[in-house]
Structure 1
Amino acid sequence: MRQARRQDAILVLEDGRTFHGEAYGAVGETFGEAVFTTGMTGYQETLTDPSFHRQVVVQTAPHIGNTGVNGEDDESGRIWAAGYVVRDPARVGSNWRATGELEERLRREGVVGICGVDTRALTRHLRERGAMRVGVSGTEPDPRALLERVRQSPRMLGANLSTEVTTPRPYTVAAEGERRYTVAALDLGIKRNVPRRLAARGVTTHLLPATSTLEEILAVGPDAVFFSPGPGDPAAADHPVALARAVLERGIPLFGICFGSQILGRALGFDTYKLRYGHRGVNLPVLDRLTGKVEVTSHNHGFAITWPNHADLRGRASGSVAEGDIIETDFGAVEVSHVCLNDDVVEGLRARDVPAFTVQYHPEAAAGTHDADYLFDRFVELVEGKHAKAH
């Protein structure tokens, strides 16, 4: 059966570059930051990741929707991406786990998309010019009129978004089997697979809103605290930074992932900056400088931590320490634990004098490889070490 012709649509970047295609998903108009992700699988996890809030996601993989959607792989309760850009949408999804079609879900949740776009050319443009604001419309035929609205839309730089994606009320994910430890997790835009990975290690996780106070965190009796991934500019998130400093002052073990890593970096006294086009994909190589091993990892971040002595972080052997490798902070010595081998971006910090560490990528890897799953073991070991010292 021949598929009905789609409605025309346009995509306009804030520098005026225009792409023509056809409407995909909901027909309407949307604005956000144009970013690309290189994952060839995991589009459902990508769309439902709260870190993509207010971003228009460009899929570099050309064929999207071929496995449909299901009720199990969501990383949150809804699609968070502001818009969706694909080259060749599947006409029919085919997978034994599928319960519906991707485009039907996009329509149902009001997610405006565009297909038939040369996503290779669009991605190359974003790599050269950097992530920028974009508009996608199936109702506005004039690129100049849409461009004017794009340039009036809010920027990602300076955006404080964690309170827009956080849980409205606390909830708990129980440990699998016998409970070993209790973790208080500040939900800045958490993915469901994080508490699942902790539960598999005997950890009960209390998920708390981003606006929670230190008293509310301590009320759950945590053995450790976790700061989650999430969207927005970490430089604008002053409340969680103050909260992280309060946790560090009490010596409670602390682990931060992605946005949570940037928050902890700020709490330790480091600045953050916006990457040119960010890291978004499931196959980025990262060096663990503590072991010398290289991990293939899942990423979704547009900001990173500024390290004062950044030169040649990956060039030194694991375990070796050169001048500038360790920075003294209000909480003692801190070192870079992980670095991206594509561009030398700092991907993790480890505090030497307080029980805290971070990684900038996603060890919960949904979607993605499981090379970095050991980091949840490292978190549990940090808690065990703290308990051993206390007794």
Structure 2
Amino acid sequence: MTVNTITFLLCALARQAISQPNDISPARVLSQQTRLSENSDLYVTCSTFGLKKPSWIFVYLCKDGVGIRKMVQKADQIDSTFIVSGVGPADSGNYSCCYSSEEYAPSEVAARGHNIIQILVIANFLPAHITLARPSAVSEGDAVEFRCTVPDTLQTLCGCQLIPSYLRKNETILQVQAFHVKRMETTFTIERAVARDSGPYTCVVLPSACIREHENTLNGSNAVLLEVKASVLLRVIVSCGVITLLLMGLLWIANRHGWMINHFSSYNPGTTSQQADTDMWEEEQEQTEGDYLEAEDGESLRMEEEEEYQNEIEADEFFNGCDTEGEAVYSVPDDSPSRASWYAASFKKKKHMINRPPGFTVG
């Protein structure tokens, strides 16, 4: 060690001795809180009860031997309470109190009080180490197990042995499990992995929260039943779609059935034979009517010849001026051809009605 170094250290110690207040007196520190959760408020009381002091003094709250807060205490007061709001893990440490008749900046006070209180601030969330029990590449349907551990000693509120832990994916909480403080681990399981389960996973523990020993799972104070009902509009749309499909199916079946009937009817041998019989019957009727008309025409010709012969006889008798008994006859011949024609037409109609096919009606 050189002379310059020794000289520098001696000067630093001298300056520290000169700047250090020499009228700092110890006081007592009181607090009902020794462990508190993160973001809580810390209440610490510095007491000068039973100590000799001037009428006005300055009380200092120290952490790890260095002042962090100061407060004026009047002559009629014996306690001064400091409030540290929203504490974090960095506020954990050893707290003590001291006082002085002179005012100093808190950082200039380096002293220890009559007693010390150790304050421990428990973090709300603490990162944990996560590992996979099997290779990171798995197939769909496989079970995946995550193991979460904390490498350092874990401090909890009131010595709690079970605390909550979260399995998170992309900052989203997927599962909650009880973390065993003694074993310093917990496991999370995905029963049947699917493709959407791929991604980064992390694990955190909650040391500031506590689970009772007899509780193995995390439950709320009550449960509610949720019933999700389908939209009325969706029901109407689905119903209309089903009805439309049914109607289209029925129409298709009906059309298919009609096509089959027409198809088989066109190739039905019975129908073809019946049509042939009908055609044959009509031909026979036409032939019968033709024969009848020919006979009728012959009958008419024969009747006309007989009438002409009779007229000739009557004409001779007329011109002779007497009948067979010698009496004069003056008569006009009847319209015999007209009556014969009416008789032939009537007979033809009756015969046609008798020989008509079944089911035939005259309009």
Instruction: Establish whether TM, by shorter chain, passes 0.5.
Output: no
Please, what TM-score do these two structures have when normalized by structure 1? 0.18
Please, what TM-score do these two structures have when normalized by structure 2? 0.19
Which structure features the higher share of helix residues?
A: 2
- Bigger relative contact order (CA 8 A; separation at least 6): 1
Question: Larger Rg: 1 or 2?
Answer: 2
